[in-house]
Amino acid sequence: MALETTLILFKPDAVAKNIVGTVLSRFENEGFKIRGMKMLFLTDELLADHYSHIADKPFFPSVRGFMQETPVIALALEGDDVIVKVRDLLGPTDSKAAAPGTLRGDFGDKEGDAKMRNVCHASDSPEAAAAEIQRFFKDGEVF
């Protein structure tokens, strides 16, 4: 097992549905530790950087619009093998394909864009987690 820290973004659908606390408690119940947490509005520049792999795609403006519907909550979460474990807890990106008991299966959008309105973003590798934590947290904001 490896002690890791990952980035979670509570997306606007989680904020609007008022389920951040419920989702956060499920992470804490798994034994993960909060190392940093803040609410912020995502600027065009920050979104272009975070989604640089799709920023040139024709659907990116809808992603940007969604991610700016409300502020998001950034969470630095620590635990043994937390990156894989959080992604397992979330379930597949497409909420329509997510099993009940997973966060996306329980709370993700089943009617609309289930790949975008899926509760949380989570880092997919240690390298991505390190870059994403740096992107969303300043020095001294992760403990």
Where in the sequence numbering do the catalytic residues fall?
121
User: Between the CA of residue 68 and those of 19, 41, 71, 89, 123, what are the distances in Å?
Assistant: 18, 7, 7, 25, 20
26: buried, middle or exposed (CB in 10 Å: 19+, 13-18, 0-12)? Answer: middle
- The alpha-helical segments, DSSP class H, found in 30-80 are 44-50, 60-67
Q: How far apart are the first and last CA of the chain?
A: 21
Please check whether residue 107 is in contact with residue 119, taking contact to mean a CB–CB distance below 8 angstroms.
yes
Paired tokens of 56: 């040139």
What's the maximum distance between 2 C-alpha atoms anywhere in the chain? 40
